[in-house]
Amino acid sequence: MLMADTSLENIIVDKKDGIAYITLNRPKVLNALNAATVAELTVAFEDVQSDDSIKGVIITGGGDKAFIAGADISEIATVSPTESVQMTRNGQTLMSLIEGLGKPVIAAVNGLALGGGCETAMACTIRIASEHAKFGQPEVKLGVIPGFGGTQRLPRLIGKGRALQLILSGAMIDANEAYRVGLVNEVVPAADLISRAEAILHQMLSNAPLALRYAMEAVNAGYESGQAEGLQLESTLFAVCASTGDKAEGTSAFLQKRAPNFQGK
């Protein structure tokens, strides 16, 4: 299990007060995602998923210029068609892990979030951007397309027309435009980025952990299926929640006008 303040080659993981802080640590290349970084992130998120002491995650970029500026172009330049399938599958697996972690993950986007960086942010539960952040899927400029889920998550977040405009133009948008189209939840001053992410995460984590997990599962699964299937899943997961000690505690606390003490059981 990764311990607090564990420093890896490409990322830094710090666990504190129930939160895992994951920081991309390749500032000289604007935190670009190479294969090794994808592998380290996968290990880190798998560890967080299995660590019951961790209730949520904040992911951000090291340095003051980039969250993740995209994939490592030197790798893309030399990858074969066969290798590219494995590369994209590895990236997609990481993004699915983040999205389905069962714990809230906040992307604190402190700068450039391009290509794989934008895709990483989109896989997170919500996105908070500094005023200097920029977003885009510029892969067409390299003769390829988004490969870590961008063609699927971006239309779901901002609509098909806007997504196609961004993907086909390869253009960047600033934080305010990203907020306007629904790509980010909030834009805050750079100095307040992590503290605001922490505040939002603490607000979420004050609620029942199992309810958070099942609410995210219902939203994610229902979004990928029809409304009828989503409603059926919602009903099933509501029933699962109704069988938990957290439901008994939450309703009792409300009726007794006191703060709940959730145990995640």
> Which residues are part of the catalytic machinery?
119, 139
Averaged pLDDT score across all residues of the chain: 94
What mean pLDDT comes out for the span 117-131?
A: 98
2-6, 30-34, 110-114, 232-236: range with lowest mean pLDDT: 2-6
Q: What is the pLDDT of residues 248-261, one digit of tens each?
A: 999 999 999 999 99
pLDDT in tens, 183-224: 999 999 999 999 999 999 999 999 999 999 999 999 998 888
Provide the CA 143 distance to its chain's centre, in angstroms: 26
Quick check: 5 pLDDT over 60?
A: no
Strands (DSSP E) contained in 110-205 are 112-114, 126-130, 134-136, 172-174, 186-188
Rounded Cα gap, residues 146 and 20, in angstroms: 28
3 state DSSP class of 102: coil
Distance CA 25, CA 62 (A): 5
- What CA–CA distance (Å, rounded) separates 149 from 221? 16
pTM for the predicted model, two decimal places: 0.93
**Domains of the chain and any CATH numbers:** 6-205 (3.90.226.10), 209-255 (1.10.12)
Confidence of residue 7 (pLDDT cuts 50, 70, 90): low
pLDDT at residue 262 greater than cutoff 70: yes
Short-list 150, 190, 156, CA closest to 60: 190
* Residue 77 scores a pLDDT above 90: no
Q: How far, rounded to the nearest angstrom, does the alpha carbon of residue 222 sit from its chain's CA centroid?
A: 18
Amino acid type, 210: L
What kind and span of H or E run contains 24?
strand 19-24
pLDDT at 141 over 90: yes
